[in-house]
Copies of this chain bind each other. A is one copy, B any other.
Amino acid sequence: MGQPTIHKKHNFDEGEPLAPWREKIHEVIFEADTGWGKAFDVFLIISIFASVIAVMLDSVASISAEYRLPLWIAEWTFTVLFTIEYILRLICVRKPMLYARSFYGIVDLLSVLPTYLALFLVDAKYFLVIRILRVLRVFRIFKLASYIGEASMMMKALRNSHAKISVFLYTVVLLVVIFGSLIYVIEGAENGFTSIPTSIYWAIVTLTTVGYGDISPQSPLGQFLASCIMIMGYGLIAVPTGIYSAEITRQAIKEHKEKEITNNACPSCSYEGHDADAVHCKKCGAEL
C-alpha cells in the first residue's frame, strides 16, 4: 500500500528528456492531471473491474455454459488491451527494467500472462483475478492522499510491531503443532484425525476460533483438550490486538505531541514546552 511512491521515483529521475511522443504517452498513462490522463485512468479502472467480474462469471458453470463466446471475447479483449498498455508503459518510462521489476510492473505483467498460459493450462485463467491488485492505483490516481496517509500509518504500525508479531506467530505455530499431535494420539484416525498434519489443521481451525466442524473430537479427553485450545485461542487473540492497539496509540500520541509543543525555550526564563501558538512565555510573560 505504500508502494505508489516506489515507481513514481524513477519517473522523475535525472537524465536525458524523453522523446515528445513518449512524454505524451507517459502523461496519459502515468499521470492523472490532464483531461486525457484522467479519462484513461477512469477507463482503466472500469476495465479492471469488468475483467475481474468476467473471470468470476466464467467460473460459474451455468453462466459459463450459456455465455461461452461473449466471455471468451471479453477475456481476450481485456487481455489484449492490458498487454498493449503494459508495452506502452514499458516504452514511455525512462528505465523500463525498473518499472518491470516494481510492484505495479509485476502486477501488470501477471494481469495478462494467465490468458496466454491458459492456452496450455486451462485453470491458469482464473489467476486473472490478480488484476484486482491493479486497482490499488486508484489511491494514487484520485489523489486520495488521506487514505494513503492512513494506509502508510497503519503499515508503519505493523512494521514497528514486526518483532512482536513474529514472536506471536511463532508461539501460535508451536502451540498448534504440539496440540495437533496430542489430539492425534488421543482421538486417532477413527474420529477423523487421520494424520498429524490434518490434526494440526484442526488445531488451527480451533485455536483461531473458526471452527468448521468438519472434524471434531468425539472422546471426552479429546473434547477436554479442544476446550483448552478454544479458551486459549479466545484469550490469545488479545495479544495481537494489544500489540497493535498500543502501537497505534503510541504513534498517534507521538504525532500529536510533535504537532502541539514547540521546542523553543523562552529567551528570558528558558522555560520550555510552550504550545505551538504561544506568543509569550506562559511563565514569565516575555515575548518568545
Residues on A facing B (Cβ under 8 Å):
1, 52, 55-56, 59-61, 123, 126-127, 129-130, 132-133, 136, 146-147, 149-151, 153-154, 157, 163-169, 171-172, 174, 177-178, 181, 184-185, 189, 194-198, 200-201, 204-214, 216, 220, 223-224, 226-227, 230-231, 233-235, 237-250, 252, 256, 271-275, 277-287
- A126–B196 touching, CB < 8 Å: yes
- A243–B239 touching, CB < 8 Å: no
**A interface SS class:** helix
Interchain CA distance A211-B214 in the complex, whole Å? 10
- B241–A237 touching, CB < 8 Å: yes
Residues in B with CB closer than 8 Å to A284 are 279-280
A226 to B: closest C-beta gap in Å: 7
Closest 9 CB pairs of A and B: A280-B285, A212-B213, A210-B211, A242-B244, A278-B282, A208-B234, A59-B196, A238-B240, A238-B244
Residues in B with CB closer than 8 Å to A233 are 208, 210, 234
Partner of A132, one of B126, B178, B238: B178
Interchain CA distance A187-B60 in the complex, whole Å? 15
Interchain CA distance A55-B195 in the complex, whole Å? 10
- A185–B127 touching, CB < 8 Å: yes
Interchain CA distance A286-B200 in the complex, whole Å? 65
Partner of A211, one of B154, B205, B250: B205
Residues in B with CB closer than 8 Å to A244 are 238-239, 241-242
Residues in B with CB closer than 8 Å to A256 are 250
Residues in B with CB closer than 8 Å to A60 are 194-197
A114 to B: closest C-beta gap in Å: 10
- B252–A250 touching, CB < 8 Å: yes
- A201–B223 touching, CB < 8 Å: yes
Interchain CA distance A11-B73 in the complex, whole Å? 59
- B252–A223 touching, CB < 8 Å: no
A46 to B: closest C-beta gap in Å: 17
Interchain CA distance A153-B245 in the complex, whole Å? 16
Interchain CA distance A245-B238 in the complex, whole Å? 7
A140 to B: closest C-beta gap in Å: 14
- B235–A240 touching, CB < 8 Å: yes
A20 to B: closest C-beta gap in Å: 37
- A61–B189 touching, CB < 8 Å: yes
Known: A59-B196, A189-B61, A245-B246. A281 touches B280 (CB 8 A): yes
Residues in B with CB closer than 8 Å to A174 are 132-133, 136
- A154–B132 touching, CB < 8 Å: no
Partner of A195, one of B61, B147, B150: B61
Q: A172-B231, A234-B240 are in contact. List 13 more A-B contacts (CB 8 A).
A: A1-B167, A154-B239, A208-B209, A212-B212, A212-B213, A234-B237, A237-B240, A238-B241, A241-B245, A245-B248, A272-B277, A277-B282, A280-B281
